[in-house]
Amino acid sequence: MNKPVVLILCTGNSCRSHMAEGVLRSVAGDVVDVQSAGSKPAGYVHPKAIAVMREIGVDISAHTSKHMRDFLDREVRTVITVCGNADEACPIYPGQVNRHHWRFDDPAHATGTEEEVLAEFRRVRDEIKKVFTAYGAGLREGPNRG
């Protein structure tokens, strides 16, 4: 049986959506197919996002930046936008039943020393982890997974 697709969208698909994908896949990847994409993909996954996710035992180093239109021919059960721009640009996908918008600050815009920038990546990671871990737990328990 095919698992329902949960597509997480942001603008650049370089930080927030990949962190959310990694967290959700780690807690509910056995019940949903978790993917991420962007409205204007950056073409890479931010090295600091990879580093701070590694700190919590989640490896996103093999992730790639994808465009949200790459999923228009797939049945997507749930779309979750993690920034305002992606929420505004988000199309309706075939089979889409659910849509959520949970906005997180973009750590790629953080300024300051190396440690201050990493602290911002960690702060956003921890917010994403809290929200997507709870969401994943609900998927595992709920009757309408995805």
Identify whether 90 is a catalytic site residue: yes
DSSP labels, 38-54: ESS--SS--HHHHHHHH
Identify whether 83 is a catalytic site residue: yes
Give Dmax (Cα) for the chain. Answer: 48
Given the residues 45, 60, 90, 108, the one annotated as active site: 90
CA distance 40 to 57: 28
Given the residues 34, 83, 86, 108, the one annotated as active site: 83
Residue located via tokens 């962007």: 38
Given the residues 5, 10, 53, 68, the one annotated as active site: 10
Identify whether 15 is a catalytic site residue: no
Sign, CA torsion 34/85/42/112: negative
Give the catalytic positions in this structure: 10, 83, 90
